[in-house]
Structure 1
Amino acid sequence: MQSTLSKLKETGEALVKEYLETRNERIKAKIVEHYAPLIKNIVGRYNLHYSTTLNADDLYQFGILGLLKALERFKSNGVPFHAFAYKRIYGEVVDALRREGMIGRDKYEKVRKLETAVKNLTASLGREPSTEEVCRALDIDEKTYYDILNTSLLVYTTSLNTKISDDEGDFIYRIDTLTDESAMSPEEELENLDLKRRLKEIISNELSDREKIILALYFYEELTLADIRKVINLTEARISQILNQTLIKVRVKLMK
């Protein structure tokens, strides 16, 4: 028996196929309605607590813009529209965050400095440093520390959604240029396998049960922060903090 998710995807693909054949505006409206939950899911994966200019409704509108752009640019070529649209919806949301200053070179540099401080303190102390120790090392207060943490999730999850020019002078997202694993050289395959092995070891041996659960719910189940809150009974802000701290921890251990 087909799953509900599978049936929903098939319905969406059928609507897109009909729209591309007819260019009927009524069908386009149905497509927007059909993919609204996907847009809300993408928007709900970001903690906008620190933004003074953007809210979830704003990002939702940018997500719709990404969906409509995907619809106009879509050419099947064996790629499902759901996968094609996801990256472009996500890209428009990321662009909005970047324009509003929530992502930028200065934010990237602050995250890198935080990573370096945690790495150095871990080496010198022989254990993970406390928040207070990291703040002293960087000469920042706790609020600034959590501001940087909030940025770290954006840094780690948006680097592959930077726009670059394609051969026709239009733009594509960097994630579209990645080599398929089946086309990797033997050396690249070994490096990829080693990275996956190290990542699996870190998650299995270095993270607490709560950290493992939050990572799994966010990255594997692709739940929003609000949905994760229902599962583990913490505030969205606290879940975001734990998620960001866990990502910093994993990154630092991978840097060894």
Structure 2
Amino acid sequence: MMGLQDKREKLWSAYAGENCEAAYNELVNSYLPLVRFIVSRLNFKLPNHLEQEDLVSYGIFGLMEAIKKFDWTRGVKFETYASQRIRGAVVDALRREQWAPRSVADKLKAVQRAYQKFENEGITDVSEEQLAEEMGISLEALRDTMTEISQLSVVSLDEFLHGQEVDSISRADTISDPKSPNPAARVLEEEFRDYLAAAIEELPEKDRVVISLYYYEELTLREIGMILEVSESRVSQLHARALMRLREKLNKYMGTSSVNGE
């Protein structure tokens, strides 16, 4: 009996070589579980008029677009490429539904500036109270802000850290497939991953645990909260804080400054 991977390779060959509509439809059906998996991992409150199945529908449009534009000769794993397209389609749809206000980006920069000031003073373990006081807002407002920032992580970790567009191929994609024909890209990616691993190790313990459980063990924020014995809201705050710290470290690595918006 033909395995799933063998079946998919046969479908890709038929679609790429003959632009076979039947193969295209079968590819869409074959990767539907990927759409559902990605949607199940998204962390945000939906508008009252939307349900999870609506997100699945948006994600399917992203999947269909990914299949049409994917170049399987590049040696990149389709799942990695499609995941960005699927997330992007969902996020774009939610933005059209006015889910993500423009002010969230401004709040992100404000929090980053506050964290940067503490780090410049040699203070790395900043409490919520200290951060709220520095920003001149209430503790409740800070927690709401951190939750909003955490919700931005519906895109991949690589996209959030580097501010990449969903349409682009991330550096992680270049080594997602061991058959990748670009050895130079693989060397650069390995160097980047080493730096990312070191940056994660420098995070406070709880931040590090949240990143590990969410992105590598693929647990939900609620499941992580149960493990850490804290609320889902608190995990969301830790998640946002960790992402911002990582982004700042990696921007320095890349020679840019996200705080200054450059």
TM-score normalised per structure 2: 0.67
Shift of 1:75: 4.1
CA distance in 1, matches of 2:4, 2:93: 28
Shift of 1:67: 1.1
CA distance in 2, matches of 1:97, 1:250: 26
Unaligned stretches of 5+ in structure 2? 175-181, 253-262
Q: 1:201 to 1:112 in 2, by over 3 A?
A: same
Secondary structure, counterpart of 1:48 in structure 2: coil
Shift of 1:45: 2.9
Secondary structure, counterpart of 1:129 in structure 2: coil
CA distance in 1, matches of 2:190, 2:100: 28
Query: Are 2:237 and 1:241 aligned?
Result: yes
Shift of 1:253: 5.3
Q: Which residue of 2 aligns with 1:85?
A: 82
Alignment of 1:211-222 (within 5 A): 211-222=207-218
Q: 1:236 to 1:16 in 2, by over 3 A?
A: farther
Shift of 1:23: 1.5
Query: Are 2:140 and 1:146 aligned?
Result: no
CA distance in 1, matches of 2:227, 2:11: 33
Query: Are 2:168 and 1:174 aligned?
Result: yes
Q: Which residue of 1 aligns with 2:38?
A: 42
Q: 1:150 to 1:50 in 2, by over 3 A?
A: farther
Alignment of 1:173-252 (within 5 A): 173-175=167-169, 182-183=183-184, 193=191, 199-208=196-205, 210-225=206-221, 228=224, 236-252=232-248
CA distance in 2, matches of 1:58, 1:142: 34
CA distance in 2, matches of 1:221, 1:152: 21
Shift of 1:114: 0.4
Query: Are 2:125 and 1:131 aligned?
Result: no
Q: Which residue of 1 aligns with 2:21?
A: 23
Task: Give yes or no for contact 1:118–1:128 (8 Å, CA) kept in 2.
Answer: no
Q: 1:16 to 1:160 in 2, by over 3 A?
A: same
Deviation string, structure 1 residues 131-166 (Cα, Å, up to 9, x no partner):
12222222223343233323434266453235xxxx
Deviation string, structure 1 residues 166-217 (Cα, Å, up to 9, x no partner):
xxxxxxx133699968446x9xx5x984x65554344324421x43332123
Deviation string, structure 1 residues 12-51 (Cα, Å, up to 9, x no partner):
44444455654128x72x5444323211222233221375
RMSD: 3.9
Q: State the number of aligned residues.
A: 232
Which residue identity does 2:85 align to in structure 1? R
Q: Which residue of 1 aligns with 2:259?
A: none
TM-score normalised per structure 1: 0.68
